[in-house]
Amino acid sequence: MLWKITQNVLTTIVVLYTAIHWGIACIPGIFLVLYTFELTNEYILFYRATYIGISLGLAYVMWMLATILITSILGFIFKPSIDNVRVPFLSFTSVRWAFLNVIDRLAKPCVHHMVPSWITDFYYRALGCKIGKDCFVSSDRINDPYLVTIGDNSIIGSKVIITPHLAEKNDLVLSPITIGNNCLIGLGAQINPGCVIGDGAVIASRAIVPKYTNIPAGEVWAGIPAKKIKKKN
């Protein structure tokens, strides 16, 4: 009963916060559109429609960038310094995790349109993700970035799902994921909590790596659940 009441209260707070978060992010774009309306007041209809249309497109881009920036700042401020933990859902750590998860989800629609780019690399790093040199991150589905490490020269394919958390009974379990140097994570693969992927390893497209799997360097894994299929030459 207590958990149900807590969940309903937190859901209400999240809805209100979402309106504020996205509303603030809209301000620069709204200013641009209103300014364009004012500026083109005496233009002929075709030119006015053209300028207003362009301003609306720019306003949408500005909303996405502002949302990413706001989330990056909040994520940087509130990101926890934790390793492997198991805590009850009704705990301070769980509430903090939930807040970071909420603001990350608010930015996800924007990140989706920006990957791969320096903008999303900045976003993930601000939220605590350790991304090495010359990496190519093409996924918008890196959850709990502060628990993810990606080594140098690694490639994270499109729609790859990296999730360092899971629910077990009444507990929240957070377990870091480490991806080594020169790794390739194929399209749509899924990496679960506690996985360690060695240098030069390859995870095939659509493969699902079970939780707490340790993949040695240079191996190729595929399938559901993922298993070793060969050693790289």
| pLDDT over 90 (residue 4) | no
Question: Chain-wide mean pLDDT for the chain?
Answer: 92
CATH number of the domain to which 43 belongs = 2.160.10.10
| Residue 94 vs residue 28, higher pLDDT | 28
Instruction: Using DSSP bridges, classify how beta strands 171-174 and 85-88 pair: parallel, antiparallel or unpaired.
Output: antiparallel
Collapse the DSSP code of 129 into the 3-class scheme (helix H, G, I; strand E, B; otherwise coil) and give the result: coil
The whole-number average pLDDT for the span 120-137 is 94
Domain count, the chain: 1
Q: Give the pLDDT of residue 224.
A: 92
The whole-number average pLDDT for the span 198-226 is 95
CA distances from 178 to 152, 197, 210 (A): 12, 6, 14
| Residue 96 vs residue 26, higher pLDDT | 26
| pLDDT over 90 (residue 63) | yes
Q: Give the pLDDT of residue 8.
A: 78
The whole-number average pLDDT for the span 52-81 is 93
| pLDDT over 70 (residue 1) | no
Q: Give the pLDDT of residue 230.
A: 81
Active site residue 112: no
Catalytic residue among 21, 112, 113, 165: 165
Select from 118, 115, 155, 123 the least CA-distant residue to 139.
115
Q: How far apart are CA 18 and CA 21, in angstroms?
A: 5
Question: Which residue, chain included where needed, has tokens 């390859």?
Answer: 202
Q: Give the pLDDT of residue 232.
A: 65
Select from 100, 142, 103, 101 the least CA-distant residue to 121.
142
Confirm if 232 and 220 have CB atoms less than 8 A apart. Answer: yes
The whole-number average pLDDT for the span 142-164 is 95
Q: Give the pLDDT of residue 3.
A: 63
Which pLDDT band, with edges at 50, 70 and 90, does 154 fall under?
A: very high
Confirm if 165 and 143 have CB atoms less than 8 A apart. Answer: yes
Select from 157, 51, 143, 61 the least CA-distant residue to 100.
143
Which pLDDT band, with edges at 50, 70 and 90, does 231 fall under?
A: confident
| Domain housing 207 | 2-231
Confirm if 173 and 85 have CB atoms less than 8 A apart. Answer: yes
